[in-house]
Amino acid sequence: MASDKISVSGFRHFFPTEDGPVQATGTIDLAIREGEFVTLVGPSGCGKTTLLKAIAGFIAPSEGTILCDGKPVKGPGRERGVVFQELAILPWRTVRRNIAHGLEIAGASKAVRESTVARLVDLMGLAGFEDRYPHELSGGMRQRVAVARTWAADPEIILMDEPFAAVDAMTRLTLQEELGRLCATTGKTVFFITHSVDEAVFLADRVLVMTKRPGTIKAVLEVPRHGSGGRDWDSFTADPEMRNISEQVMHLVHAERGAR
């Protein structure tokens, strides 16, 4: 399809080990449209991070092709931003300089850098912390900086690998709402990996469910949006339609437990 932002076809990946190659994923075909928020849930070890790494260009697929805007992915690039699960912002840069890093690399003027940082600091609730170093921030704050840094670089596609997994439950709810709002206002194409069913449904336009290793995509569920802007947890939990989708996803994920 012409309007596919990301297109994965016939993807399969093996990791070399001492006892020969181990299959990390089954055959995966996947297309993500421009501006779409796609989440991927699956049991741990199913190969979801492998798929994300391949789209990011960190690993070359053993089989199949990955296209981004119709062009094959060859290594990491600034049009595909990544938010990692672990601390990936630079400890030796302040919040401000971390967020501005992508713009700095792109050679943006000081005025542009400053206004972008100011906007994102505001959006992500980081006001007052601009000149702190990451080690002086809480885990939730650091992930906000990571998200802001990726958005500031203005990639077309954003890949997120369980970005809120290491954050406490309360903060996570806030971050999820903030992310939803951010996406609604910026219209980015997002591919988001998680093992939390609620998170997957809450954020998504479309939820993909993966089987256990070697993982393939076993189900795709559309999550309709009513009105613009991100969702909020209060109305999300009160909405029977959303609850219904969550339950379906939960059943699909649970069926993947068992034999292991």
Q: How far is the CB of 88 from other proteins (least distance, A)?
A: 4
Residue 55 binding other proteins, by CB under 8 A: no
Residue 187 binding other proteins, by CB under 8 A: no
Residue 233 binding other proteins, by CB under 8 A: no
Q: How far is the CB of 154 from other proteins (least distance, A)?
A: 10
- Applying the rule CB under 8 A, the residues between 101 and 130 that interact with other proteins are 101-102, 105-106
Q: Could you tell me the two tokens for 246?
A: 């969550």
Burial of residue 111 (CB within 10 Å: 0-12, 13-18, 19+) is exposed
Q: How far is the CB of 111 from other proteins (least distance, A)?
A: 20
Residue 76 binding other proteins, by CB under 8 A: yes
- Applying the rule CB under 8 A, the residues between 139 and 168 that interact with other proteins are 146, 149-150, 153, 155
Q: How many residues does the chain have?
A: 260
Other C-beta atoms lying within 10 Å of the C-beta of residue 156: 17
Tell which one of 9, 65, 69, 78 touches other proteins (CB under 8 A): 78
- Residue 114, classed as helix, strand or coil, is helix
Q: How far is the CB of 116 from other proteins (least distance, A)?
A: 13
| Distance of alpha carbon 238 from alpha carbon 6, whole angstroms | 33
Strands (E), the chain: 4-15, 22-33, 37-41, 63-68, 71-72, 80-83, 157-161, 189-194, 206-210, 217-222
Q: How far is the CB of 149 from other proteins (least distance, A)?
A: 7
The Cα angle at residue 253 between residues 251 and 257, in degrees rounded to 5: 105
The residue among 154, 145, 156, 152 whose CA lies nearest residue 100 is: 152
Q: Could you tell me the two tokens for 175?
A: 């971050």
Stretch that binds other proteins, among 20-28, 62-70, 76-84, 170-178 (CB under 8 A): 76-84
Q: How far is the CB of 83 from other proteins (least distance, A)?
A: 8
- Applying the rule CB under 8 A, the residues between 81 and 100 that interact with other proteins are 81-82, 84, 86-93
The residue ranges that bind other proteins (CB under 8 A) are: 56, 58, 75-78, 80-82, 84, 86-93, 101-102, 105-106, 133-136, 146, 149-150, 153, 155
